[in-house]
Structure 1
Amino acid sequence: MKRTRLAALSLVAALLIAGGAFHAGRTLGPAPDEHAAHAPAPAASTPEPAAEKKILYWHDPMVPGARFDKPGKSPFMDMQLVPMYADADSVSGTRIDPTIQQNLGIRHATVRRIESNTSVEAIGSVQFDERLGVAVQTRVAGYVEHLAVRAPMESVRKGQALATVFAPEWLAPQNELLALQRSGVSQEIISAARDRMRAMSIPAELIRQSEKAGSAQARFTLTAPANGVVTELGVREGMAVTPGMTMFRIGGLDKVWAVVEVPEAQASRIRVGQKVKAVLQADATQSFDGKLTEILPQIDAATRTLKARFAVDNAQRKLVPGMLLRLQVEGPKTTRLVVTSEAVIRTGKRAVVIVRKANGAFEPRDVTLGADLGDDIEIIDGLTEGEQVVASGQFLIDSEARLRSVLGNMAPQKP
């Protein structure tokens, strides 16, 4: 009986303790939201720790080929060795740390499109237009009795007297003609005598003078056939002359040649018929109009230039041979895709540029070059407007690529 009472009391005490603990839990325990906030997330949403990059070796970017198995200071340069990671070549092209790029002094340039005209500027020297040159010759043996022009480079006008020549060979044919006329022979015989005199190159004016005077004329005057200057004087007073001897050469000045040497690279920009504006080198206020008349088919092996002749108007005689002219040949305006010339690597067979891609990697690209525009060069194929290329440090990037076992072929593999 006593045992039964003790068991009942123990059961009541246990129930009271359990009820108090439940009541304390509801009163002092955390809110349901707090339980949810502190509850651990599902295992599937827990991010895995990032795996560390594996370092293959350390190297000096400035000294290709040397590899080291631990970090430290470079034995070649005053700089720390740079780690090379296993996934360094996992992307297309070659990636270089920005700090290394700064140390290498790498500069970038933008591929751009510009408007340019195909004008050519050159310095030319004034020369006589050889097409205007004439020669004054005698067609009979005789002597120079009087010389009206005594020095080379004298200016002469058309019809001006140059020299008086005595030709004794012309006396006999003229006397024969005069005798036939006095004898009253038929006109057919007189006409035949005149034809014989023309065959001997006796001037018609001289024949008229002899017929008018009634006596043979052996002296005749040579006159200038055109305006210009005497470029060559081949006789003096008292000299004997022979048939075909050149006594004078006269160069015209109404038009002159401006002969220029055009670089071989610009030869494709000029063509016969192009207009030219010529400015006097010594006085820029004096300008002249001209036209390209001829491109000489020969390249100077020493200067790699070809000569072009421009016919320049010189009606006012302001230009003389030897003067210098600054010529500008206008061409059509075009748009060109260009890049700075220093960005192009020429290997002899190829032209290559190092392109900086959007992800920061570098890759080489073959390009087709066009006209050389001085600091810029035209790109025919291989690049698009807005792309970034390496303007300096291309060979250091190539060295960096070789260190990464790309073996000089940094181009991405085609799928």
Structure 2
Amino acid sequence: MSVDARQAVRWGAGVLAIALVAGGGGYWIGQRGGPASDDGSTAAGRKVLYWYDPMVPAEHYDNPNSLSSMGMKTIPRYANEPEGPNAAPGITIDPAARQNLGLRVATAEIGGLPSTFTATGTIDFNQRNVAVIQARTGGFVTRVYGRAPGDVIGAGAPIADVQLPEWGGAQAEFLAVRRLSKPELTAAARQRLRLMGMSEGLIAGVERSGQTNGTVTITSPIAGVIQTLDARAGVTLAQGQTLAQVTGIGTVWLNAAVPEAQAGMVKVGQRAMARLSAFPDESFTGRVIAILPTAQADSRTLTVRIELANRGGRLRPGMFSNVMLGDGGDQALLVPSEAVIRTGARTLVMLALPDGRYRPAEVRAGREGGGKTQIIAGLAPGEKVVASGQFLLDSEASLTGIPARALESGE
């Protein structure tokens, strides 16, 4: 193989594996009408002005066998190719070369960007559904009902029997006033019993039997889990002393750890779908009821509180869950995510211009989802971008100094 042939092979392998011809600040890639003859013409009759190396375009040569100062094989500059400061910037690619490169073009379109994402969390008690059971007046515990912390009880389940001497005295006064047959005094005495915490059923029983009942059975007003239990037989109680605390389990909270970068996609009232490893074939739907105001410094996450219905009490605090958050998303200008070039300093797309040229354009990108990226600025609906092979074109544009379309100007 001759030296010229070896140089030609080196040029083809080293520079994008295709022939590059400068065009208005870009390159013409591929063959443009066949090899040139010694008299400066091609098989298609196109006029060759000079030969040059795209790596050093200032050097011009008068024959096709020239080597540039970089030792590279020169290529022809044709008379009908745009050149100079008034030429439109861009890269023009021969159709055959374009097919060989596998360039794929997509259109920027308005569409809905899915904004769903998955986070992890744990089940917790609903701290808004808590009952504190107290002694309304001083007394002592006469009986307990075999309860313990952690027991699941129903609404109205007995906790303890408490003897309340003050209630017995107030009931005796009520019966004495009632015997006076003065409705006003009787009503006032009955109201006093209500204010002391006696139920209508207890008052009615005293009125019906004519006997005082200073022993009351303390019951749970809600169904749930006993969290604390201080009722023990023989214990003397002070007014307002807590006997037990019960947390309801009809609904539970799912505290999800949402990455800080995705916190803006979550809103109070938004629906959420949870899946637990304990029930792999089921999903549980709830809604976001709160976004806690403090971020976790170590994990850079925010806690999103989701309320879930707990039918049958199957969701137990401490269970691990995956939760899907988000919604259908708003309408936005979208391009394929693979078309976006992120350099670190800026974000670019490679425009496919109507005249068959390609030029980088700076854009401002937003959210991603479903293989699409939102373009906030720098691109208009209907413009076409290169979705495959754009990194090659961007490298060539950078090599020849083709400026990217500015984000502010859009030109």
Aligned to 2:319: 323
* Larger displacement relative to structure 2 (242-251 or 375-384): 375-384
Contact kept in structure 2, 1:57 and 1:84, CA below 8 Å: no
Contact kept in structure 2, 1:162 and 1:221, CA below 8 Å: yes
Contact kept in structure 2, 1:58 and 1:81, CA below 8 Å: no
> What are the equivalent positions in structure 2 for 1:354-369 lying under 5 Å apart?
354-355=350-351, 363-369=359-365
CA distance in 2, matches of 1:187, 1:338: 82
Change over 3 Å in CA distance of 1:48–1:371 after alignment to 2: closer
Aligned to 2:49: 51
Aligned to 2:222: 226
Aligned to 2:293: 298
Change over 3 Å in CA distance of 1:195–1:395 after alignment to 2: same
Counterpart code for 2:254: A
* TM-score (structure 2 length as normaliser): 0.65
**Which has the greater radius of gyration?**
1
Aligned to 2:70: 71
CA distance in 2, matches of 1:188, 1:332: 65
For residue 370 of structure 1, report the CA deviation from its aligned partner.
3.0
Name the SS for the 2:312 alignment partner: coil
CA distance in 2, matches of 1:397, 1:237: 88
CA distance in 2, matches of 1:414, 1:130: 54
CA distance in 1, matches of 2:123, 2:155: 23
Q: 1:253 aligns with which of 246, 249, 253?
A: 249
Counterpart code for 2:287: L
Change over 3 Å in CA distance of 1:280–1:364 after alignment to 2: same
Counterpart code for 1:388: V
Query: Greater share of helix residues, 1 or 2?
Result: 1
In structure 2, the gaps of 5 or more residues are 1-44, 58-67
> What are the equivalent positions in structure 2 for 1:12-411 lying under 5 Å apart?
50-53=48-51, 58=56, 70-72=69-71, 91-93=87-89, 95=91, 110-111=105-106, 117-181=114-178, 184=180, 186-211=182-207, 214-267=210-263, 269-288=265-284, 290-296=285-291, 298=293, 300=295, 302=297, 303-328=299-324, 331-332=327-328, 337-340=334-337, 343-345=340-342, 351-355=347-351, 363-373=359-369, 376-381=372-377, 382=379, 384=382, 386-388=384-386, 391-392=390-391, 396-397=395-396, 399-401=398-400, 404=401, 409-411=403-405
Name the SS for the 1:367 alignment partner: strand
CA distance in 2, matches of 1:312, 1:399: 54
Counterpart code for 2:227: T
Contact kept in structure 2, 1:338 and 1:377, CA below 8 Å: yes
CA distance in 2, matches of 1:201, 1:414: 75
Counterpart code for 1:278: A
* Larger displacement relative to structure 2 (203-212 or 138-147): 203-212
For residue 222 of structure 1, report the CA deviation from its aligned partner.
0.7
Contact kept in structure 2, 1:293 and 1:309, CA below 8 Å: yes
Name the SS for the 1:217 alignment partner: coil
CA distance in 1, matches of 2:183, 2:132: 36
CA distance in 1, matches of 2:339, 2:385: 16
Can you list the C-alpha shifts for 1:273-292, whole angstroms capped at 9, x where unaligned?
4444433323322333x342
* TM-score (structure 1 length as normaliser): 0.64
* Larger displacement relative to structure 2 (47-56 or 120-129): 47-56
Counterpart code for 2:70: P
Can you list the C-alpha shifts for 1:64-111, whole angstroms capped at 9, x where unaligned?
xxxxx8234xxxxxxx699999x976643365999xx9xxxx996643
For residue 261 of structure 1, report the CA deviation from its aligned partner.
3.2
CA distance in 2, matches of 1:49, 1:180: 125
Contact kept in structure 2, 1:138 and 1:242, CA below 8 Å: yes
Counterpart code for 1:135: V
Aligned to 1:4: none
Can you list the C-alpha shifts for 1:307-366, whole angstroms capped at 9, x where unaligned?
433332322222222223334457348686223257333656x53334465777653312
Contact kept in structure 1, 2:114 and 2:327, CA below 8 Å: yes
Aligned to 2:5: none
Name the SS for the 1:283 alignment partner: coil
Counterpart code for 1:326: N
For residue 296 of structure 1, report the CA deviation from its aligned partner.
1.6
Aligned to 1:75: none
CA distance in 2, matches of 1:240, 1:281: 47
Aligned to 2:16: none
Counterpart code for 1:378: Q
Name the SS for the 1:174 alignment partner: helix
* Larger displacement relative to structure 2 (87-96 or 131-140): 87-96
Aligned residues: 341
Change over 3 Å in CA distance of 1:295–1:160 after alignment to 2: closer
For residue 147 of structure 1, report the CA deviation from its aligned partner.
2.4
* Larger displacement relative to structure 2 (368-377 or 155-164): 368-377
CA distance in 2, matches of 1:107, 1:295: 49
Contact kept in structure 1, 2:91 and 2:359, CA below 8 Å: no
CA distance in 1, matches of 2:291, 2:54: 64
CA distance in 1, matches of 2:294, 2:373: 23
Change over 3 Å in CA distance of 1:364–1:116 after alignment to 2: closer
For residue 161 of structure 1, report the CA deviation from its aligned partner.
0.5
Identity of aligned residues (%): 25
